[in-house]
Amino acid sequence: MQLSGNKIQPEAFSATLMDLRRGDAAILDRIDLPGDDARRLMEMGFLPGTRVTAGRSAPGGDPQVFQVDGSEVALRRETARRLKVRLEKKKTPRA
């Protein structure tokens, strides 16, 4: 099941949750998983248009914790690679 939060062409999605480093935030664009798996993630707060922040990871990097909708959720690499995101632009301090 592909669930998308906007009308951008699929080739515009170049980032996944696995591309985020600890502390990076992104907006979830699409969940590219089978229906039941996608539905379960949505129940945990992974909805298109929601801000997701990368947290800590286990030794070896699998699983990794993500903060979404006020909760921390650990996802395996293979799952995190199927969640497509738009990276948030870093704010530069004004002088």
Band of the pLDDT at 4, cuts 50, 70, 90? low
- pTM of this structure: 0.76
Domain residue spans in the chain? 17-87
> Residue 18 has which token pair?
């696995």
Give the tens place of pLDDT for each residue, 42-93: 999 999 999 999 999 888 878 999 999 899 999 999 999 999 999 866 655 5
Cα–Cα distance, 30 to 90 (Å, whole number): 21
Which of 3, 23, 6 has its CA nearest to residue 86? 6
User: Which CATH number does the domain 17-87 belong to among 2.30.42.10, 3.30.1370.140, 2.30.30.90, 3.30.413.10?
Assistant: 2.30.30.90
